[in-house]
Amino acid sequence: METCCPSKNCQPKKRVLLKLSGEALINEGHRGINPQALKEIAEEIADAYRCGNCELTIVLGGGNIWRGVRDGGGVIDRVNSDNMGMLATVINALALQSALEEAGVPTRVLTSINIYQLAEPFVRRKALRHLEKGRIVIFAGGTGNPFFTTDSAAALRASEINADVLLKATQVDGVYDSDPKKNPNAKLIHKITYKEAIARQLQFMDTAALALCLENKVPVQVFNLHTKGNIKKALCGEDVGTIIY
């Protein structure tokens, strides 16, 4: 794979898991899938992927369509509501697969819930085989269990495939010492250990997910999804955002 990175210090990551919230597929304030937003994120990922010598896997959330706790509204029970959220991640994964293939990168969707007319079931060895063949692998269906989030799914899959890093693209520039949306003086943290992040209850990822990364020594890098070029920088090993190690 050719390297086209403008970065002087380019150190391509070997195996990467990129976690995107479902919000990556919409314009702010809207829900569902916005085709233009989908095209843009797919092109950015495809460009970043071509640049690095990495094996790329993706976990995409479903919150743009359905979030179990938020959207059940006391009418749909939690388990069914979470199951609907997991189905939402499959819808998003199929959309991203099409858009990535349109952008020229072969992609496979592996799901943790059985829906085999639409996507292959998740089998670790199968995922590794796809990566060997230069395909991007999208893990859909979350963990396959209610009461979890796609952050936990990302931490789980990253641990299972021995990812070198979990890249979490978010709405803000990284991890702050307090909520930057509420506190204008919140300070961006550049590096922090997992243990400190857990102890300080910094709200950038759920604690179960972070604990799994700690246990399996998967570093996490948090950066702003909306800053153009950030995915490429992160894939090429640049210090963008916050590193949790």
- Would you state the structure tokens that stand for residue 220, as one six-digit string? 């996490």
Ligand-binding annotation for 179, yes or no, is yes
Alpha-carbon distance of 208 to 57, in angstroms, equals 21
- CA 47 vs. chain centroid, Å, equals 17
Question: If DSSP codes are grouped into helix, strand and coil, which group holds residue 75?
Answer: coil
The β-bridge relationship of strands 120-121 and 107-111 is: parallel
Choices 29-37, 57-65, 129-137, 230-238; region in contact with ligand UDP by CB under 6 A = 57-65
Closer of 52 and 68 to ligand UDP (Cβ): 68
**Is residue 187 packed enough to be buried (19+ CB in 10 Å), middle (13-18) or exposed (0-12)?**
exposed
Binding to ligand UDP (CB under 6 A) within 115-144 occurs at 142-143
Exactly one of 17, 38, 86, 113 binds ligand UDP (CB under 6 A); that residue is 86
**67 annotated as a binding-site residue:** yes
157 binds ligand UDP (CB under 6 A): no
In 3D, which of 231, 216, 222 has the Cα closest to residue 162? 216
Question: Residue 142 annotated as binding?
Answer: no
The answer to whether residue 174 forms part of the interface with ligand UDP (CB under 6 A) is: no
Structure-block tokens of residue 112: 């943790």
Q: Between residues 10 and 205, which has the closer beta carbon with respect to ligand UDP?
A: 205
Told to check if 111 binds ligand UDP by CB under 6 A, we report no
How many of the chain's residues bind ligand UDP (CB under 6 A)? 22
97 is a site residue for ligand UDP (CB under 6 A): no
Token readout for 6 is: 């403008």
Please give the structure tokens belonging to residue 105.
């990168």
d(CA 159, CA 197): 19
Binder of ligand UDP out of 57, 149, 230, 242 (CB under 6 A): 149
Binder of ligand UDP out of 121, 146, 219, 229 (CB under 6 A) = 146
Q: Check the annotation: does 22 bind a ligand.
A: yes
**C-beta closer to ligand UDP: residue 89 or 107:** 89
Q: Tell me which of 63, 174, 237, 241 binds ligand UDP, using CB under 6 A.
A: 63
Strand (E) positions, the chain? 15-20, 55-60, 107-111, 120-121, 136-140, 165-170, 175-176, 188-189, 191-192, 220-224, 242-244
* CA distances, 192 to each of 16, 72, 198, 219 (Å): 20, 35, 10, 10
Per-residue string for binding with ligand UDP, 17-56, x by CB under 6 A?
Answer: ----xxx---------------------------------
- Binding residues for UMP, by number, are 62, 82, 143-150
Residues that bind ligand UDP (CB under 6 A): 21-23, 61-63, 67-68, 82, 85-86, 88-89, 142-143, 145-146, 148-150, 152-153
- Binding residues, by number, are 19-22, 62-63, 67, 82, 143-150, 170-171, 176, 179
